[in-house]
Amino acid sequence: MVTVTDAAATFRRLPLPPRAPRLIATDLDGTLLHDDKSVSERTVAALAAAEKAGIEVFFVTGRPARWMDVVSEHVHGHGLAICANGAAVVDLHRGREIVEVRELSPWAAMAVVGALRDVAPGVAFAVERAGGFHYEPAYPPFFEDPGAEVAPIGKLLGEGGRDADQPVLKLLVHHPELDPDAFLQLARRAAGEFAEFTRSSPTALLEVSGRGVSKAGTLAHCCAERGIASEEVVAFGDMPNDLEMLTWAGTSYAMANAHPEVREATTFQTLSNNEDGVAVTIEALLTLR
């Protein structure tokens, strides 16, 4: 728990950009959300204050649209979120409707499957489609999606799989033993020609998107539509799937709990997610207006 005295001291020493941003882009898990997946009252107030001051707020996450209920009630103005690591733009005011998609082709996904089975025996796969999540029998059971189809990956990516008429947003790859960072590098070497690889889990779980798809790319597209330049964006994140976004934004903050690569890549650092680091920083940014 951050005391009033601690928060005041942090506020005084927190590094800030030269001027207030036009847009704040924040990751959710490990960044805006506490570890118990809650949104603190302080964070809710800070998000509302930012939008009241004319600063747009984008949630930019690896989560699918159907898991955005944790923040849906806290959006105020535009109500858009970037989900599935940039594969989907979601309107939170319209029932978490997907309004833009950057898909992973089933052909490319199967090419990734073949390459990783060769270099990392024991891998298991899951598919995140716009219509739902489905996984192989060897993939760790996923209780948050009780309606998932459990079948071999060939069926899940083929025409006979459930939600086959829906685009593939992500392929997920799990290995029970490999070091997470080493697994990421191995996968990029083996199959980087077919797709984009990243990770946001503490386990050896990789997230695979279509070539050129990332949080940064979709955020840049959304900002261009609004006439917002990268130097007018402040971004927050904690894991490797945030890296492109954090280096694209004019100002970036790593959470105190962030992955070492993220801390090295960002402009500044702030408090941890459990200490409301995003809210504390937004409060400070609002003093620049």
CA distance 66 to 83: 10
- For residues 123 and 91, the model is more confident at 123
Average pLDDT taken over every residue of the chain: 90
pLDDT at residue 2 in the model = 39
Q: For the domain that residue 176 is a member of, what is the CATH number?
A: 3.30.1240.10
Same domain, 75 and 117: no
CA distance 281 to 252: 11
* Count of the separate structural domains present in the chain: 2
pLDDT at residue 14 in the model = 76
Dihedral sign (CA 151, 154, 156, 159): negative
Q: For the domain that residue 274 is a member of, what is the CATH number?
A: 3.40.50.1000
Dihedral sign (CA 162, 167, 170, 173): positive
Query: pLDDT of 207-262, one tens digit each?
Result: 999 999 999 999 999 999 999 999 999 999 999 999 999 999 999 999 999 999 99
Single-letter code of the amino acid located at 277 = G
Where in the sequence is the domain holding 205, given as residue range(s)?
A: 106-209
- For residues 144 and 17, the model is more confident at 17
Out of 103-107, 124-128, 144-148, 185-189, which region has the weakest mean confidence (pLDDT)? 144-148
Query: Where is the domain boundary, 190, 209, 228?
Result: 209
Q: Is the pLDDT of residue 118 over 60?
A: yes
Same domain, 42 and 181: no
pLDDT band at 3 (very low <50, low <70, confident <90, very high): very low
